[in-house]
Structure 1
């Protein structure tokens, strides 16, 4: 599979060359495949946000290099060479609605495309398409974004990123503060963009259920290092290791582990609700037919 993003021995030091220097990333090497849905997990302070901010060069390596679709970022890369890269890498921060500022929804969504050279008509068309993609009715175009609900405001912010037509979309805790319905809607949107528009999705999250329900690849970070990569099944296979990393198991796996601790022969740890239901059904069937 082609590589969308490659980290080559990347170290990032905050307050470098001072007595307060601290490595937030420590000799990171990582490859993220094109069109993958990758979750970055780890306890608070493990380096997740610092890692993803290198992908659109909000931060540059202190040492090493980052390559994004053949565009290289090194310690000496100048800002004038980064505009084209940032057009291809969209980033949605936690509480992105706080970044809204224009007087109407359509103007806010058009801002990014116009900033990167689109004429008004082209930017407006891109904004209308992005609104449709995130499920915002066109009738909201001339409303103030600040008159919308919290969930709608977040969709406006995401639409502003999608109007740039990025190849990579970084979602840094995108569901923070949302109710369960809003949470599911945002995650389903990310899944749709991955499946139908073939966008490479990178999700930073503390929600382990989102990891197992949506991601195909998982990167686990601890103290600025990558300590494990693999599928969700591989990463969550050892509950004791997960707890040592100060992480939670997905809800279904947590419940299944309690059953295992109580002596119920669950077998391989189920990660999703459907897997848990299938396992319990199978156990019930065997209980009714002990000779099976």
Structure 2
């Protein structure tokens, strides 16, 4: 089955046919390759979350069509025809632990598979596998999820999505509110799912360091439109354009920009700390070579 995700002239209007109508998406056309790690960035209100909620048809377009796994989603597609699609597309919302509700960890993780028709035994098997996948110790299975730490609760919520074995995982600001250690754990988990399970990862984020550290593909949204689509190096190649979009550079790029303003002749804007270190070493070695 074709695993490409494509948008064809998709418009989504909130409060359509009222004086308050507003286009959150405006004639969006794009393709997301299978097994890619794609980051979607843009300032608040640019249309990022609206865009990804069309991929599993939590929202349906006002005009245009989306194709996911060879299935077309149009404004007239009925929910009855979307159930199998949603099984393939897992979505983790911001602060997903707020959606926990069962009396035990294992029951909460089992809920998704059971909702799609799995037997208790099969749902439990999927839940146990998902717990291992997100690094939750088996001893936690019968505990109340509300007795866990914030980071553990988020892992339970993510495990509940993974228990349905999706091929596409959408993460909408998945590290919001986490400390640096928890942040890295969640992002490394996403990277592992991409690398070892060939899962298509779609990340909505304001964290530009995560974009350059994890994503291979970046979509920039502005006013409901895709204004740029490329690799991280292509997206961040022009700092002036990045600032014009009300975005930040990755921290290494921000630091390099300050160095350039101070007169340090860096040849290009580095995307990662390693790139920045290489640029500085190259500059120093070049200086030493000239002195000789």
User: How does the TM-score come out when normalised to structure 2?
Assistant: 0.98
Q: Deviations over 1:14-59 (max 9, x none)?
A: 0111111110000000100000000000000000000000000000
Matched residue, 1:247: 247
Instruction: Please report how far the alpha carbon of residue 283 of structure 1 lies from its aligned counterpart in structure 2 after TM superposition.
Output: 1.4
Matched residue, 2:61: 61
Find the residue that maps to 1:164 and give its secondary structure.
coil
- Measure, in 2, the Cα distance between the counterparts of 1:261 and 1:29: 38
Check if 1:51 corresponds to 2:51: yes
Matched residue, 1:102: 102
Find the residue that maps to 2:4 and give its secondary structure.
strand
Matches within 5 A, 1:173-184: 173-184=173-184
Q: Is the Cα contact below 8 Å between 2:109 and 2:156 reproduced in 1?
A: yes
Matched residue, 2:169: 169
Instruction: Please report how far the alpha carbon of residue 61 of structure 1 lies from its aligned counterpart in structure 2 after TM superposition.
Output: 0.5
Find the residue that maps to 2:13 and give its secondary structure.
strand
- Measure, in 2, the Cα distance between the counterparts of 1:209 and 1:260: 20
Unaligned runs of 5+ in 1: none
Aligned residues: 291
Instruction: Please report how far the alpha carbon of residue 211 of structure 1 lies from its aligned counterpart in structure 2 after TM superposition.
Output: 0.2
Find the residue that maps to 1:221 and give its secondary structure.
strand
Check if 1:18 corresponds to 2:32: no
- Measure, in 2, the Cα distance between the counterparts of 1:216 and 1:264: 29
Check if 1:120 corresponds to 2:114: no
Find the residue that maps to 2:10 and give its secondary structure.
strand
- Measure, in 2, the Cα distance between the counterparts of 1:40 and 1:218: 6
Instruction: Please report how far the alpha carbon of residue 3 of structure 1 lies from its aligned counterpart in structure 2 after TM superposition.
Output: 5.2
Find the residue that maps to 2:219 and give its secondary structure.
strand
Matched residue, 2:148: 148
Find the residue that maps to 1:289 and give its secondary structure.
helix
- Measure, in 2, the Cα distance between the counterparts of 1:290 and 1:175: 46
- Where in structure 1 do 4 or more consecutive aligned residues deviate above 3 Å? none
Find the residue that maps to 1:77 and give its secondary structure.
coil
Matched residue, 2:185: 185
Unaligned runs of 5+ in 2: none
